[in-house]
Amino acid sequence: MGLKPGQLLDASASLVPFRPPSLLLRALERGIRGGALRDYPDRSQNELRGAIAAWHGIDADAVLPGNGAAELFTWAARDAAACGLSGLLEPGFADYRRALACWGCEVQGLPMDLSWSGQGAEPWPVLMDQHAHAQVLWITNPHNPTGQLWSRASLEPLLGRHRLVICDEAFLPLVPEGERQTLIPLVAEYPNLVVIRSLTKLFAVAGLRLGYAIAAPERLQQWSQWRDPWPVNGLALAAGTAVMADQQGLARWQQRVQYWVRDEGAWLQHQLRQLPGLNPRPSSANYLLVEGQASLLALREQVAQRGVLLRDCRSFEGLGARWLRIGLQDRRGNRRILQALRGALRHQPLA
């Protein structure tokens, strides 16, 4: 494109637009000075597991940190392979299929309606009969890429109908009042439930690679035997422990992020509705799914030439060239997205 990386606004990734917390950055500096680069990481991950467990009010044996959520999906998929058919929503996050393909798993697509109200937590969108034959069910809450938030009350009945339920809550801490819908309190009651979370989105540290699974201790012990000896590096352990152990600071950070999602999401959605040929869907998360009247691929390329990257949705099973996903930015960044879209639409109008 003839641009320097620093000139690009990457709205294809759904990360908070803030600089990571100073506590996290200081932990990285201390780790470098204190030997986190030279020394092998703690294989037991005791400090980080304890901090995560204390935050959620659960036992540390029910927590397993990972090299990002993606690594944990791989072990969840190995578990799923032993159970049978996996049911996946369509559209849905492509990494589940990637993980399942590692183990030759059979997959059933579960098409979902692409219209919803966007008024708070909604009921699970798929009829029970549609996934009755799936032994394993994969859930994303809030859903990626639509941003739909589903109620815990509508998800709990699913736990009694499947041998294994994997719930990806990577974006849930960013959702205003989203924690009310978490399935984490149900893990102790349902040994067939796995909840996976990511710290990447919340703290904008995609390069650090850090997530965690919450599940029955016996299941996580099995995962630990499958994986490499040191899946989480020393710097990630230090940074994750610092931010998760500071519960007051973590609560303040989440509140800041949730206010941003609420305010900027509503503002950007309203602004996008004013553009011809674009239909932004309501979202509880820090991204908006946008539908076009025709293919949006040329528009996406035109916007990229103006230094703004938007997410091509063809990797989401069930979506095609008429869809884009836009990651929320701060107000300045959101204005830049709109400016690029307006310029591209003047060059190649959709309607």
Share of the chain above pLDDT 90, in %: 89
Please tell me whether residues 186 and 56 are part of one structural domain.
Answer: yes
pLDDT at 351: 58
What range does the domain containing 174 cover?
22-112+122-246
The mean predicted confidence, pLDDT, of the chain is: 95
Q: Does residue 86 sit within a domain? A: yes
Q: Which residues pair with 212 in a beta bridge?
A: 65, 197
Please tell me whether residues 81 and 194 are part of one structural domain.
Answer: yes
Please tell me whether residues 290 and 269 are part of one structural domain.
Answer: yes
pTM above 0.85, yes or no: yes
pLDDT tens-digit readout, 56-88: 999 999 999 999 999 999 999 999 999 999 999
Are 46 and 344 contacting, i.e. CB atoms less than 8 angstroms apart? no
Considering 246, 272, 307, which residue would you say is the last residue of a domain? 246
Q: Quick one: DSSP state of residue 320?
A: -
Sign of CA dihedral 98, 179, 142, 289: negative
CA angle 275, 285, 333 (to 5 degrees): 50
Look at the chain and report how many structural domains it folds into.
2
Q: Mean pLDDT across the stretch 286-305?
A: 95
Please tell me whether residues 72 and 163 are part of one structural domain.
Answer: yes
Q: Which of 107, 159, 151 is nearest to 125 (CA)?
A: 151
Q: Does residue 1 sit within a domain? A: no
pLDDT at 348: 75
Sign of CA dihedral 276, 295, 88, 202: negative
Q: Which of 5-14, 114-123, 193-202 has the lowest mean pLDDT?
A: 114-123
Q: Mean pLDDT across the stretch 214-235?
A: 96
Q: Mean pLDDT across the stretch 242-270?
A: 97
Please tell me whether residues 75 and 217 are part of one structural domain.
Answer: yes
Please tell me whether residues 235 and 89 are part of one structural domain.
Answer: yes
Q: Report which of residues 71 and 349 the model is more confident about.
A: 71
Q: What contacts 340, CB < 8 A, 6 or more positions away? A: 303, 306, 307, 308
Please tell me whether residues 62 and 153 are part of one structural domain.
Answer: yes
Q: Which residues pair with 107 in a beta bridge?
A: 86
Please tell me whether residues 255 and 147 are part of one structural domain.
Answer: no
pLDDT at 148: 95
Q: Which of 54-68, 110-124, 287-301 has the lowest mean pLDDT?
A: 110-124
Is the model's pLDDT at 1 over the cut of 90?
no
CATH number at residue 320: 3.90.1150.10
Considering 186, 221, 246, which residue would you say is the last residue of a domain? 246
Please tell me whether residues 335 and 214 are part of one structural domain.
Answer: no
pLDDT at 349: 74
Are 333 and 271 contacting, i.e. CB atoms less than 8 angstroms apart? no
Q: Does residue 157 sit within a domain? A: yes
pLDDT at 204: 94
Please, which pLDDT band fits residue 132 given cuts at 50, 70 and 90? confident
Is the model's pLDDT at 279 over the cut of 90?
yes
Residue 335: enclosing H or E segment and its boundaries?
Answer: helix 331-347
Considering 193, 212, 246, which residue would you say is the last residue of a domain? 246
pLDDT at 120: 85
Q: Does residue 2 sit within a domain? A: no
CATH number at residue 60: 3.40.640.10
